[in-house]
Structure 1
Amino acid sequence: MDTLRVKEYMEYQPAAIRCDAMLTEVIDELLKHKSTGAPVVNEQNEVVGFVSEQDCLRSLLVSGYYCDKVDSVKDVMRREVLTIGPEDNVVELARRMTDQLPKIYPVVLDGKLIGLIDRRRILSALVASQVEHCKVW
């Protein structure tokens, strides 16, 4: 299992939100891709933030209550984003994920977004590896 790499299990064409998107666009993208969150990227495809369904819900509740304008992604995104590289180990990432860290990690190479990996893909990798390992015995 130590040979499992993120690049083997990541999503290669993830939903990514432009940093100038309005919250309604963000919600449309998340719903379209059936995703709980997505990285926010600039014009150079560098990850500058992360936005989740929870961030959107919070903003919609506040703007609905006060009848304020709808926010842009810049107003609600988290700016500190944990990323991972395509050569990183899946088992190590799984260990990190058990400590309540993000459920979704943007995968970056040379500072650019190239993919996404989430708990579901990690579970799939670990199960497949375990099944293959047990066949040998």
Structure 2
Amino acid sequence: MESLKVADYMNTHPVTLKPTMSVAEAVEKLINTPYLGAPVIADNRQLLGFLSEQDCLAKMIESSYYNQQTAYVRDIMRTDVLTVKPYQSALDLAQQMLGAKPKIYPVTDDNGFLVGAISRTDVLRAVDLHLRDAYRKVG
């Protein structure tokens, strides 16, 4: 299974957010994607953080209570982002995802630039395809 690389199963064109976007703009982008969050990037694709639907929901509830919409992505994004590299094993990532870890990981190159994203569904698909292939070879 070591031949299962993240690069082979990641989304190379994930939805991304900018730190200067309003939370409302970010929500609009997120609700049109199957992912539960998105990487926040600079103009040069350097990863700056991650914003989840949960982060947005908390801020939107607060905004509705105060009847104001003034938050920006940079105000609520997480900057302690767990990332993976495209050359890492998808099986190792699957094992990592068994714990209380993110359901989606930004994929960055060795310099911290975003090259994609991979979700738990993507990893599950990778393992499933690999097992199906192995079953065919045995049978």
Is the TM-score greater than 0.5? yes
Quote the Cα distance in structure 2 between the aligned partners of 1:34 and 1:99.
Answer: 21
Q: What's the offset of the Cα at 1:136? A: 1.4
Quote the Cα distance in structure 2 between the aligned partners of 1:75 and 1:68.
Answer: 15
The residue type paired with residue 71 of structure 1 is A
With the length of structure 1 as denominator, give the TM-score of the two structures.
0.96
The residue type paired with residue 119 of structure 1 is R
The residue type paired with residue 121 of structure 1 is D
Q: What's the offset of the Cα at 1:134? A: 1.1
In structure 1, stretches of 5+ residues that fail to align are none
1:119 paired residue number: 120
Quote the Cα distance in structure 2 between the aligned partners of 1:3 and 1:80.
Answer: 29
Quote the Cα distance in structure 2 between the aligned partners of 1:131 and 1:67.
Answer: 52
Q: What's the offset of the Cα at 1:68? A: 2.9
User: For residues 93-104 of structure 1, what are the structure 2 equivalents within 5 Å?
Assistant: 93-104=93-104
In structure 2, stretches of 5+ residues that fail to align are none
User: For residues 83-102 of structure 1, what are the structure 2 equivalents within 5 Å?
Assistant: 83-102=83-102
Q: What is the DSSP-based 3-state SS (H/G/I as helix, E as strand, rest coil) of the residue aligned with 2:35? A: coil
**Contact kept? 1:13, 1:115, Cα under 8 Å:** yes
2:5 paired residue number: 5
Quote the Cα distance in structure 2 between the aligned partners of 1:35 and 1:128.
Answer: 21
Aligned length: 137
**Contact kept? 2:16, 2:40, Cα under 8 Å:** yes
Q: After TM superposition, which residue ranges in structure 1, 4 or more long, deviate above 3 angstroms?
A: none
Task: Tell me if 1:130 matches 2:136.
Answer: no
Quote the Cα distance in structure 1 between the aligned partners of 2:9 and 2:82.
Answer: 18
Quote the Cα distance in structure 2 between the aligned partners of 1:51 and 1:43.
Answer: 17
2:69 paired residue number: 69
Identity %: 34
Quote the Cα distance in structure 2 between the aligned partners of 1:28 and 1:116.
Answer: 19
With the length of structure 2 as denominator, give the TM-score of the two structures.
0.95
Q: What is the DSSP-based 3-state SS (H/G/I as helix, E as strand, rest coil) of the residue aligned with 2:31? A: helix
Deviation string, structure 1 residues 81-122 (Cα, Å, up to 9, x no partner): 011110000010001000111110000113210100000000
The residue type paired with residue 56 of structure 1 is C
Deviation string, structure 1 residues 67-90 (Cα, Å, up to 9, x no partner): 233310011111110111100000
